[in-house]
Amino acid sequence: MPQPEPDGPWLHGVPARLAVVQGLHAGRSVVTAAAIIMTAVFGGFVFSHSAMIRPIGFGLAFGVLVDAFVVRMLIVPSLMHLAGDKAWWLPRWLDRRLPNLDVEGAALERQHPHVPDRESAPTLTSS
């Protein structure tokens, strides 16, 4: 399987369904780690001495688990896979109003010529 692009495979011309698979593959470890950490923190509130804090901690821990594993790893990728190209549809008026945030610098890479690799680049030798 090809490696996912840093700023989204869809922006680099990968088909929509493959972009969903790559995005899920790239983000699942982050979502899982965050869910485990947040569940542990909120689950710690269950052992509180206050009767008002215990159900809040349980509810937050359960909500985080459902959000991470059911919503983010099952429902959203499934709906995006079913929607295909329409999952990335954006109205033209909104596309014109939103700023183009190129955090990774992909636009600069497209504008400038390719820099040769270190192996093929000439090296300086001392004599």
Looking from the CA of 37 toward its CB, the CA atoms found within 13 Å total 6
Q: Tell me if residue 92 falls in helix, strand or coil.
A: helix
- pLDDT attached to residue 79: 95
Q: How far apart are the first and last CA of the chain?
A: 46
How distant, in Å, are the alpha carbons of 2, 27, 53 from that of 39? Answer: 32, 18, 15
Q: Tell me if residue 55 falls in helix, strand or coil.
A: helix
Mean pLDDT by 10 residues, the chain (127 residues): 51 80 91 97 94 96 97 95 88 90 72 61 57
How distant, in Å, are the alpha carbons of 23, 28, 64, 112 from that of 18? Answer: 8, 15, 27, 28
